[in-house]
Amino acid sequence: MRKVALGIDIGGTNTDIAFVDREGSCLGEDRLSTSDFPQPEVFVAALAEKVRLLERSLPEPVEVIGIGIGAPMGNINKGTIEEPADLQWKGITPLADLLREHIDLPILVTNDANAAAVGEMIYGEAKGMKNFAVITLGTGLGSGIVIDGKLLYGQDGFAGEVGHTIVRPGKTNRECGCGRYGCLETYVSATGLKRTLFKIMSDSIEPSELRDMSFNEMTSLDIAEAAERGDVLAKRAFDHTGEMLGLKLADLVAHTNPEAIFLFGGLALAKGLIMEPTQRAFHDNLLSIYRGKVKLLASGLTSKSSAVLGASALAWDQYDAGNA
Amino acid sequence: MRKVALGIDIGGTNTDIAFVDREGSCLGEDRLSTSDFPQPEVFVAALAEKVRLLERSLPEPVEVIGIGIGAPMGNINKGTIEEPADLQWKGITPLADLLREHIDLPILVTNDANAAAVGEMIYGEAKGMKNFAVITLGTGLGSGIVIDGKLLYGQDGFAGEVGHTIVRPGKTNRECGCGRYGCLETYVSATGLKRTLFKIMSDSIEPSELRDMSFNEMTSLDIAEAAERGDVLAKRAFDHTGEMLGLKLADLVAHTNPEAIFLFGGLALAKGLIMEPTQRAFHDNLLSIYRGKVKLLASGLTSKSSAVLGASALAWDQYDAGNA
């Protein structure tokens, strides 16, 4: 019987589930709405039912070795989701305990960036690497740091919040969803890119096709497409974003000296637009002892299902450790 | 026979050596000049001779379990010193190999901040802690980060260069000895404090007793003593230094989520002068999930011999691991 892991990626809008084998092949996937469920208990019951139906619909019988869950503010130590800004469940949700009432399997819960890092290690470009980091560029900026082949969780399970390192301290700088000001993710993320573009549009009088779109309707994809078509302001917004990211990735290296840093997620798909200015700033700001040693790469997981793949990798990583 | 470790702390001016037992008691110590030896081979021969003489002079016969060396740019993987800015030995010095020609014992080489971190874990206030960091405030700013009870070395042995994270990017900011601009240690270190005081003296017209001293004759101790006597500018220099340190320690937490951060070294001995503004800025800049969880403490190693104690702890840490 084929062994598979169940990956669950919980986002503010949707939750993806997938059964994934050790090589990263997805045997079946499905989705349910997260936002339809104000009560986590009801959500978990619906989730468990989806999982049962999906397993039954798979082309072959499988042995499920465990469940990996990526969720905002997922706490690996307790299997909880704690005070997530992006979910409607307030306080502390004992997610693993709730799910265990329905499914009797090992369950690991961590945030989506940590899951992405393990996904990179199990299925992606970080195979065989011992020290690396993954930066996820979506609505916010997440990070997962691997040290000596193991995810860095820190004392309370919350290591790797690089999106909330501060680039511009003080209340005159950009307000962050975390309640502080000047956090990296207010500059470097899909939303940060858009905020930078709006700043550039306000400072400059140069024309841009993006001046016809509202803040709420504009996505990072619109900015990427405008930049590809030669829009000067859109291009400049990417350059500023990359400059800030490269600077702070140099700081990340000064903390943890990884072998490589991978960029993952929607904004990272803009390829050269974001990669080139980031590479430049990264190199310029790197302490000499690290120069030429730390690679800055695009993630090897570039499909739409990358997040749920990463979640499933958590279960494989634990399974491998138990069978080493 | 009492078991002891040999600690060696190599600084630009002097090298300290000490035999230290598992409890951190120093059985004997000595010192030789580093700067007298332009050739590392000659230095190592003189060092080995000093060690032999010191061992013979100890009050009782001892069994030496290993040698730990703290040195600028010490590389744990190779036992080398690489391109140290603060020593006259250029290029790569194969320190462990050179010393092994004279003394046949396990030898570990790392930088002094890493040694201080292990010292804190073996003898000091971090006993039993698994995740913490030590910040050394001397001429520069060093850092040693412990993850899961082990020093974080990273891929190339050079993790923990927090002194070279960048607080103010760009060439208009403070020049650093590393060739870049705006590094944390240009603001937060004995030298950084003095540079800040000189900036404050240039900006303000307020009187200060420190206006009678030259840059070269002034030490951080002079500034501390002036502040204790109520000198407003000296006090302000400490406040600015602490603000910058607290801000960047919050970033350190966002990377590694430690249980505690210890301040170690000369400047840290200024106690409240540096601790209070640092605590304030640390708390203000900490992401909410970490608040109240991460302690900011003074090092438990406060003697003049702290650095060489830390170096000896490297040997004990390896010895303990081998006998666990």
State whether A98 and A187 are in the same domain. no
CB-CB contact of A142 with A188 (8 Å) = no
User: Would you state the structure tokens that stand for residue A289, as one six-digit string?
Assistant: 């002892």
Are A107 and A188 in the same domain?
Answer: no
Question: What span, in angstroms and rounded, lies between the C-alpha atoms of A251 and A144?
Answer: 15
**Three-state DSSP state, A16:** strand
Same domain, B95 and B155: no
Closest partner CB to A257 (pick from B159, B252, B288): B159
Let me know: does B189 contact B140? Beta carbons within 8 Å: yes
- Lowest-confidence pick of A76-85, B28-37, B211-220: A76-85
The ipTM (two decimal places) reads 0.91
User: Tokens 């120069």 correspond to what residue?
Assistant: A291
In a domain, A304, yes or no: no
Cross-chain Cβ contact B159/A255 below 8 Å: yes
- Looking at the structure, tell me whether residues B38 and B154 fall in a common domain: no
Question: Cβ contact (<8 Å) for A289 and B258?
Answer: no
Contacts of B251 in chain A (CB under 8 A): 165-166, 251
B183 and B291, same domain (yes or no): yes
**CA Rg, chain B, in Å?**
20
| Domain co-membership, A253 together with A137 | yes
Give a yes or no: residue B86 inside a domain: yes
Q: Report yes or no on A170 lying in a domain.
A: yes
Report the domain count for chain B: 2
**Quick one: closest CA in B to A250, which residue?**
B165
Residues A149 and A88 grouped into a single domain: no
- Residues A21, A102, single domain; the answer is yes
Within a domain: B57 = yes
Q: Which two tokens stand for residue A245?
A: 């990211």
The verdict on A93 and A138 lying in the same domain is no
Q: A136 and A59 in one domain?
A: no
Based on the fold, state whether residues B205 and B278 are members of the same structural domain.
yes
User: Containing domain of residue A43, as a range?
Assistant: 2-111+316-322
In this structure, is residue A123 part of a structural domain? no
Query: Could you tell me which residues come within 8 angstroms of residue A269 by beta carbon, excluding any fewer than 6 positions away?
Result: A302
Q: Which helix (H) or strand (E) holds A117?
A: helix A112-122
DSSP state of B211: G
- Look at residue B316 and tell me if it is in a domain: no
H or E segment to which residue A42 belongs: helix A40-57
State pLDDT tens for residues B96-126.
Answer: 999 999 999 999 999 999 999 999 999 999 9
Nearest to B71 by CA among B63, B61, B59, B79: B79
CA dist., res. A244 & res. A251, Å (int): 11
Q: Pick from A140, A157, A159, A137: which is nearest to B255 by CA? A: A159
What's the whole-model pTM score? 0.92
For chain A, the C-alpha Rg in angstroms (whole number) is: 20
Can you give the CATH number for the domain in which B144 is found? Answer: 3.30.420.40
Instruction: Give residue B141's pLDDT band: very low, low, confident or very high (50, 70, 90).
Output: very high
What CA–CA distance (Å, rounded) separates A59 from A262? 34
Alpha-carbon span A291 to A120, nearest angstrom: 23
- Among B86, B147, B150, B155, the strongest candidate for a mutation testing the A interface, having the largest count of A CBs within 10 A, is B155
Contacts of A236 (CB under 8 A, 6+ apart): A200
Q: Residue B78 — pLDDT band, cuts 50, 70, 90?
A: very high
Facing residue for A166 by CB, picked from B82, B157, B247: B247
Average pLDDT over residues A18-42: 95
Percent of chain A's residues with pLDDT above 90: 87
Judged by CB atoms closer than 8 Å, whether chains meet at A255 and B162 is answered as: yes
Candidates B20, B102, B28; CA nearest to B68 is B20
Could you tell me if residue B95 is inside a domain? yes
> Rounded CA gap, B22 and B119, in Å?
11
pLDDT interval class at B270 (50, 70, 90) = confident
| C-alpha separations of B18 from A181, B57, B291, B307, B319 in Å | 48, 12, 39, 10, 17
Q: Is there a domain that residue B315 lies in?
A: no
Q: Which residues of A touch B247 (CB under 8 A)?
A: 166, 169
Q: How far is CA A156 from the centre of its chain?
A: 19
Q: Looking at the structure, tell me whether residues B143 and B281 fall in a common domain.
A: yes
Chain A residues in contact with B168 (beta carbon < 8 A)? none
DSSP A183: B
What's residue A216's pLDDT? 96
